[in-house]
A and B are shown apart, each in its own frame.
Chain A
Amino acid sequence: MTELRGFYTLWLREVKRYFRDKVRIVSSFFQPFLWLVIFGTGFRFSGQIGELNYQEYLFPGIIGQALLFTSMFMGISVIWDKEFGFMKEILVAPISRVTIFLGKMIGDSTDAALQGTIIFLVAALIGIKVDPLTYFAALPVMLLITFGLVSIGLTIASFMRSLESFGVIQSFINLPLFFLSGALFPLTNPGIPEWLQTASKANPLTYGVDALRTIILGEAWQPLQALHVNLAVLGAFDVIMIIIGTWAFTRMK
């Protein structure tokens, strides 16, 4: 019972902090807006992808991007807490490290999924057709994608001491995962070299983006994998990352 309340309070903290950061919420509207309106419109006239125009195709990819970037960024809160001391308050509390990790991780995942929700709103705003029911079908998949990604961010952050060093994640993890996920271009395009295909298959986000496209675009999308395969890969990825993350938090001082 104590563990459950500890979990709840840590989860609530992450969510409260998210809603208090007004600047971030505004900027999280603006970025996908740029991608979908400028990038999306620009490429729309470079050709169709099956029956889809590029903007429609890009939309689930940008959700994937937002989930990835937000999830990774959440690690920063761990460094922040270490730097400003609140981590000590959490670590000496009489609750287990598993609870601490899960509370923070699921709190951060909730924030990331909220960020994904914002993209749905932006999409609706610029005239991409989205069924509200589609959103509710996509929500659990969005969470499934974020659990593993947030765990990576938290794990890396638990080893780091300064906010500055966290910046390397942007170049060494975020961008490669983003570019290799098929968020921006179809991985099935003729002529895409073998190495790129292989690399993208090793990227968990590829399965996430594919699952989101299957749910959001429906019949118009030719999936890379069946939905259940995508979900199984994501689930396995989450389990592994959560185990690693819990271990990382157990050894944190």
Chain B
Amino acid sequence: MNKVIETFKLTRMFNELTAVDHLDISVEAGEIFGLLGPNGAGKTTTISMLCTILKPTSGTAKVNGFDIVKESRQVRKSIGIVFQDPSIDDRMTGRENLFMHANLYGVPLSEQKSRIDNVLKLVELEDRADDLMRTYSGGMRRRLELARGLIHYPKVLFLDEPTLGLDPQTRDHVWKYIRELKENHDITIVLTTHYMDEADKLCDRIAIMDYGKIIALDTPAKLKETLEGDVVIIKANNLETLSALITEKLGLQNARIINGTVEVTMKNGKSMLPRIVEVATQNNIFVESIALREPNLEDVFLYYTGRTIRADSSRERHGFLAIARRRIK
């Protein structure tokens, strides 16, 4: 397969902090590749370097065959970017924003009009194209930014948190466009997200990132398979004791307390359910409810890092600020 992106020990430091730490990944042509991780994991920094906005502290990468440090102009011509924060001129109409982009990226004049009409159709904004963008809703702005990223026929489209701060309905919409893009265009998509379901539904392959490093990289299905089994969720009146008992009596190592329940991953969850209840009852613990589900990416993240993706609240703040900014505009 043809590698569209390849990084070579890509590293970026901010003073003492290593935001991206000797990253070695490659992205194949035509796939949707997801960078998944909590806020502050280094996803945006990675994308910024690949888009030549940030210079790496050491290491380098190739995008569409061009070096991000030495051939940044060629890289920029090969890529489209949808930033995490809004980046449109809201005093101009949607169509004007698209024309500006076409000119900045040197789209031939003879093709500008038809390409712009096409992308407007793709994101269903033909009717509003000649309104000032300050009258657009957040979701419409996002869709226009998506459309804009496609006008110059990029080889790679980078989407940084494409659905951050959007309502569920609009998220579904944006996902639909991204899938359609992949099917109908010769394009590779790299997206960052801290939404597990987004990564799961959209991506062909996912790199789970934490503290600037890739801790797991595979298809969503295979990542979930590594957990080998089911997740059992138990609601009970004495969580600490129960969790300790499960480890001690049943030999299951990864019991943890989350949101007022004990969660534990195991093979053959169904046959283990009665035994858990038995152990609890023997030790005078009252089990309110017990449930079984398939592992999701959240569990995968927890498995590799020992933390939930939202555990670190100080890191989360940045994400909320971005949401707030988007709402204000």
Q: A residues bordering B, Cβ < 8 Å?
A: 1-2, 5-6, 8-10, 13, 16-17, 20, 81, 84-95, 253
Q: Determine the distance from Cα of A13 to Cα of B54 in the docked complex, in whole angstroms.
A: 27
A20 touches B91 (CB 8 A): yes
**Contacts known (A2-B106, A91-B53, A92-B51); A16 close to B92, Cβ less than 8 A:** yes
B259 in contact (CB, < 8 A):
no
Q: Which residues of A contact B99 (CB under 8 A)?
A: 9
Q: Which residues of B contact A20 (CB under 8 A)?
A: 91
B283 in contact (CB, < 8 A):
no
Instruction: State which size class the interface on B falls in.
Output: 20 to 34
* Interface residues as binary, B87-116 with A (CB distance below 8 Å gives 1, 0 otherwise): 111111000100111011110000000000
Q: Determine the distance from Cα of A84 to Cα of B87 in the docked complex, in whole angstroms.
A: 7
B76 in contact (CB, < 8 A):
yes
Number of A-B contacts (CB under 8 A): 67
The listed residue (A5, A16, A88) touching B106 by CB distance below 8 A is: A5
Q: Which residues of A contact B73 (CB under 8 A)?
A: 94
Q: Which residues of B contact A9 (CB under 8 A)?
A: 99-100, 103-104
Q: Which residues of A contact B103 (CB under 8 A)?
A: 5-6, 8-9
A84 touches B101 (CB 8 A): no
Closest residue of chain B to A1, judged by CB?
Answer: B106
Q: Which residues of A contact B329 (CB under 8 A)?
A: 84
Q: How far is the CB of A88 from chain B (nearest CB, A)?
A: 5
B88 touches A94 (CB 8 A): no
B86 in contact (CB, < 8 A):
yes
* Interface residues as binary, B11-49 with A (CB distance below 8 Å gives 1, 0 otherwise): 000000000000000000000000000000000000000
B199 in contact (CB, < 8 A):
no
Q: How far is the CB of A249 from chain B (nearest CB, A)?
A: 15
A6, A20, A85, A95, most chain B CB atoms within 10 A? A85
A93 touches B87 (CB 8 A): no
The listed residue (B51, B85, B91, B106) touching A85 by CB distance below 8 A is: B85
Q: Which residues of B contact A6 (CB under 8 A)?
A: 103-104, 106
Q: Which residues of A contact B91 (CB under 8 A)?
A: 17, 20
B89, B104, B329, most chain A CB atoms within 10 A? B104
B76, B105, B106, B329, most chain A CB atoms within 10 A? B106
Q: Determine the distance from Cα of A5 to Cα of B105 in the docked complex, in whole angstroms.
A: 9
Q: Which residues of A contact B104 (CB under 8 A)?
A: 5-6, 9, 89-90, 93-95
Q: How far is the CB of A232 from chain B (nearest CB, A)?
A: 35
Closest residue of chain B to A2, judged by CB?
Answer: B106
Q: Which residues of A contact B53 (CB under 8 A)?
A: 88, 91-92, 253
B87 touches A94 (CB 8 A): no
B9 in contact (CB, < 8 A):
no
Closest residue of chain B to A8, judged by CB?
Answer: B103
A85 touches B86 (CB 8 A): yes
B83 touches A94 (CB 8 A): no
Q: Which residues of B contact A91 (CB under 8 A)?
A: 53
B60 in contact (CB, < 8 A):
no
Q: How far is the CB of A72 from chain B (nearest CB, A)?
A: 20
Q: Which residues of A contact B85 (CB under 8 A)?
A: 85, 88
Closest residue of chain A to B90, judged by CB?
Answer: A84
B105 touches A93 (CB 8 A): yes
Known: A13-B89, A88-B85, A95-B104. 11 other contacts (CB 8 A): A2-B105, A5-B103, A5-B106, A8-B103, A9-B99, A10-B100, A17-B92, A89-B88, A89-B101, A93-B105, A94-B105
Q: Which residues of B contact A88 (CB under 8 A)?
A: 53, 83, 85, 87
B77 in contact (CB, < 8 A):
yes
Q: Which residues of B contact A85 (CB under 8 A)?
A: 83, 85-88
Q: Which residues of A contact B157 (CB under 8 A)?
A: none
Closest residue of chain B to A81, judged by CB?
Answer: B89
A86 touches B89 (CB 8 A): yes
Q: Determine the distance from Cα of A10 to Cα of B101 in the docked complex, in whole angstroms.
A: 10
B105 touches A86 (CB 8 A): no
B81 in contact (CB, < 8 A):
yes
B51 touches A94 (CB 8 A): no
Q: Determine the distance from Cα of A228 to Cα of B280 in the docked complex, in whole angstroms.
A: 97
Q: Determine the distance from Cα of A92 to Cα of B51 in the docked complex, in whole angstroms.
A: 8
A17, A89, A93, A95, most chain B CB atoms within 10 A? A89
Q: Determine the distance from Cα of A149 to Cα of B105 in the docked complex, in whole angstroms.
A: 29
A92 touches B105 (CB 8 A): no
- Give the top 6 A-B pairs by smallest Cβ distance, nearest first: A2-B106, A9-B103, A93-B104, A85-B87, A94-B76, A89-B87
B106 touches A86 (CB 8 A): no
Q: Determine the distance from Cα of A85 to Cα of B89 in the docked complex, in whole angstroms.
A: 8
B192 in contact (CB, < 8 A):
no
Q: Determine the distance from Cα of A92 to Cα of B82 in the docked complex, in whole angstroms.
A: 11
Q: How far is the CB of B144 from chain A (nearest CB, A)?
A: 12
B88 touches A86 (CB 8 A): yes
B87 touches A86 (CB 8 A): yes
B106 touches A92 (CB 8 A): no
Q: Determine the distance from Cα of A8 to Cα of B92 in the docked complex, in whole angstroms.
A: 16
Q: Which residues of B contact A94 (CB under 8 A)?
A: 73, 76-77, 104-106
Q: Which residues of A contact B51 (CB under 8 A)?
A: 92
Q: How far is the CB of A157 from chain B (nearest CB, A)?
A: 16
Name 15 interchain pairs, CB-CB below 8 A, sorted by A.
A1-B106, A5-B104, A9-B100, A13-B100, A17-B91, A84-B89, A85-B87, A86-B89, A87-B87, A88-B83, A89-B89, A92-B51, A92-B52, A92-B53, A93-B76
